[in-house]
Amino acid sequence: MQTRRPVSPASPLAKARRIVVKVGSSLLVDGTTGRLNRAWLETLAADLVRMRRRGQQIILVSSGAIALGRRQLGLPGGALRLEASQAAAAVGQIRLAHAYKEVFEAQGVTVAQVLLTLEDSERRRRYLNARATLNGLLGLGAVPVINENDTVATTEIRYGDNDRLAARVAQMASADCVVLLSDVEGLYTADPNVDANAQFVDRVVRVTAAIEAMAGTARSDFGTGGMATKVAAARIAVSAGAHLCVAAGAHKHPLRRIERGARCTWFVPQGNPRTARKQWIAGSLRPNGAILIDEGALRALRAGKSLLPAGVTGVRGRFDRGDTVSVITPQGREFARGIAAYADGDVTRIMGRKTRELDELLGYRGRDEMIHRDDLVVVADEVATENE
Ligand code: GLU
């Protein structure tokens, strides 16, 4: 019999003010019948209602649209072609939203459907707009239920997994806790199915390259994200000052279970969170391009300086002024991300040149910096950086 533990006041979940809960497809949709697990959803709703009564604000990020829609349309199992998954999402999303409405309204809570595209988090103006919408809904007492707008998402332009979407939403809403509920119990030092010495990891204080390596590429059967996308989500959440928990969610009352101390992996937020703007830059899921730099520029960036055209050796991809780009070291590693002050064509024109030469090369008065220090965030973790 399971021991009954009271809610631990130390649980970040009990203490949080605003919480994002991500629900994976494998929990919501029965793997054999393809039907919604309504009984389970009711217990999740009961947990969330109880948390709201304690004064906590809740945002749900829910998968399951494609899984529900494919059954309705009689589509085959396995990977779907883009058109088929877009169609399945359109059919499944309406069912998903209906289920949330019924289950939550029965407990006196209003839900609000919000469908996001990658651009809504990656473009600064749209990000700020989506943030205002979420704050508005929470202020009115509704529970936003978010999913990717899979019907219009294409292979190139999509989140693809709701783990990173949930982390981006947490950052957007300044949430202080994220819970990723799925069929994965948490992080192990190695794949427990393969390695008998694999140890469970309860707490991660820093998302290093070693932690990312532990996540490997393990995948669950049903959802899109494996442990790797969960660790990527954790990196975004902790740098935004939020705790993130990866937990198995198939049990009834999955959140109450976590509060009572069930096994899960907690990622702990970083000590001094970056400014909101820098968090947004660092959390970018898809930089538009890349700027390659030399050793001198790398030293300058390590010392907290801006990136000047003189230290740039090349560009990759197409980007405009104001787009987010990766900054790549001579060793080919992503060291930082920032907002480019020049489009890729102009970068090519002025790279390697001195500041005083710029006006003549460009034909207009441009910025001295390629990326200003206020628009630049180091993303390489220290361990990896030392070994470079
Ligand atoms: N957005 C997808 C859906 O609703 C799920 C993505 C994921 O599995 O993380 O079906």
Q: Which CATH architecture has domain 12-278?
A: 3-Layer(aba) Sandwich (3.40)
Q: What is the pLDDT of residue 159?
A: 87
pTM confidence score: 0.83
Q: Among the atoms of ligand 1, which is closest to the Cα of residue 93?
A: 4
Looking at the chain, which residues constitute the CATH 2.30.130.10 domain(s)? 287-378
Over residues 72-83, the pLDDT tens digits come to 999 988 888 999
For 79, counting Cβ atoms within 10 Å of its Cβ (0-12 exposed, 13-18 middle, 19+ buried), the class is exposed
d(CA 6, CA 9): 9
Instruction: Using the mean position of ligand 1's atoms as its centre, give its distance from the Cα of residue 144 in Å.
Output: 16
**Cβ 225 under 6 angstroms from ligand 1:** yes
Kindly state the tokens that stand for 375: 């628009």
Instruction: Using the mean position of ligand 1's atoms as its centre, give its distance from the Cα of residue 12 in Å.
Output: 26
DSSP code string of 286-313 = S-SEEEEE-HHHHHHHHTTPPBPGGGEE
Q: What is the mean pLDDT of residues 38-54?
A: 96
Q: What is the pLDDT of residue 77?
A: 82
| Residues facing residue 114 across a β-bridge | 146
Confidence band for 225, pLDDT divided at 50, 70 and 90: low
Q: Which CATH architecture has domain 287-378?
A: Roll (2.30)
Looking at the chain, which residues constitute the CATH 3.40.1160.10 domain(s)? 12-278
Kindly state the tokens that stand for 145: 């239920």
**Cβ 120 under 6 angstroms from ligand 1:** no
DSSP 3-state assignment of 74?
coil
**Cβ 223 under 6 angstroms from ligand 1:** yes
Mutate to test the pocket of ligand 1, among 21, 25, 113, 114 (most ligand atoms within 8 A of CB): 25
Instruction: Using the mean position of ligand 1's atoms as its centre, give its distance from the Cα of residue 220 in Å.
Output: 13
